[in-house]
Amino acid sequence: MSLLDLTLPFQQLQKTLYPLTTSLPIILLNLPAISTALYDLYDNVKDGQDNLHSGLDSALQLHHALFETCQGEALPHLAETTRHLTRVGTLRALDPKLVERSFSTLSLILRTMSPFLLKPSREAQDALKNTWIEVRPYLKPKTNKKYVRKCIADAWAGIIRKARSEGLARLVDVLLEDEAEGLEAVWTNSLKGTSHNLHSRALPVISLLLERLVATESSAQLVTLNLVFTALVHHCSSSTIVPVVETVLARLGPSATEASSSKSTVTVSIPVLSVLSTILLVRKGKRYPESQLKPTMTKLQSLLPRLEEIKGSSEEADIEWRRSYVLCVMGSLQAGKLTQWLSPGVALIEGVWNRLVSSHF
């Protein structure tokens, strides 16, 4: 228990905090001073040492309890707390127990504060952005160790899983605002469930990510999503990934309004086709659900007549559309068996061949 910690740094902290924490009103009144005292202890945790006698373990437990007690009143202090906890957790030679405690405390605090972070108020949105700014540098794969990226992604996944409807939309917009490197780790961890399953909140998140991808036409977001879907294919079984495939296929065909414009057809088709080709080609299609092969081929076959519609678009978009389309056709044939090859595989191949002969491809 933290009260039994006899290390000198923690005893000094306890002496400082005692008159500031006699009751809940006193705690709320002195929240800035309490936070500063905890930050000072974190600042004294040195790099290159195990810091077993720094009082850090007990201070981290107190810090989590502080957020549990103050709830939304502690929101203005979340970003700075996140900065201190991530710094401490990444210190060189820190005892493994303290590393785990630092990141688990961060995860617990973020989960505690998620209902307040996702509110539509300006204060909540500012806190969300500032907190994300603090964790974002620790996701970069080239400058951070693998366990650091995983711990940060796990901590932030708790917020994503708590988000609903408009709150989820605001959260996604914040995360996609600058297209941070390493963002795929956050999405992947939030979508994965246990025992090769998807998390219960996976499909709403995937749907929103695909919607943003189509709307922005961002190449960085496309790369991120392809990495996410690659990880999901490796994680899920062919049966548990069915809802993901269905969601992608539903996004593949543009609506009647979009189909009326050749330019809209191109911008809608390219990113979704690229995502579909990734799902089809990873593990040579062995994880692609057999029940979705015929619907996939049928959907691809229905796209063939639209090649003429986009003939007048830019050459670059024209080539990319066809490349993504051919990859999907190859992937579906590779994943299929004789039953799918005969129908509708033969008709699909004939349709592509006819377009080649008529120079529409």
Average pLDDT of the chain to the nearest whole number: 87
Residue 103 has what pLDDT? 96
The Cα–Cα gap between 275 and 206 comes to 12
pLDDT, tens digit, for every residue of 114-168?
A: 999 999 999 999 999 999 999 999 999 988 999 999 999 999 999 999 999 999 9
The structural domains of the chain, with segments of one domain joined by +, span 1-117, 297-304+318-361
Cβ count near 129 (within 10 Å): 14
Beta bridge partners of 192: 198
Who wins on pLDDT, 355 or 91? 91
Overall average pLDDT of the 320-333 stretch: 86
Q: In the numeric block, which tokens belong to residue 188?
A: 């992947």
Residues 6+ away with beta carbon under 8 Å from 87: 42
Who wins on pLDDT, 50 or 175? 175
Residue 2 has what pLDDT? 53
Residue 268 has pLDDT above 70, yes or no: no
Beta bridge partners of 198: 192
Overall average pLDDT of the 169-183 stretch: 89
Residue 231 has pLDDT above 70, yes or no: yes
Overall average pLDDT of the 280-309 stretch: 85
Q: What angle do CA 231, 237, 243 make, to 5 degrees?
A: 85
SS3 (DSSP) at 130: helix
Cβ count near 102 (within 10 Å): 25
Put simply, whether the predicted model's pTM sits higher than 0.95 gets the answer no
Residue 260 has what pLDDT? 47
SS3 (DSSP) at 311: coil
Task: Of 174-178, 278-282, 338-342, give the range with the top mean pLDDT.
Answer: 278-282
- DSSP label at 137? G
Which pLDDT band, with edges at 50, 70 and 90, does 251 fall under? confident
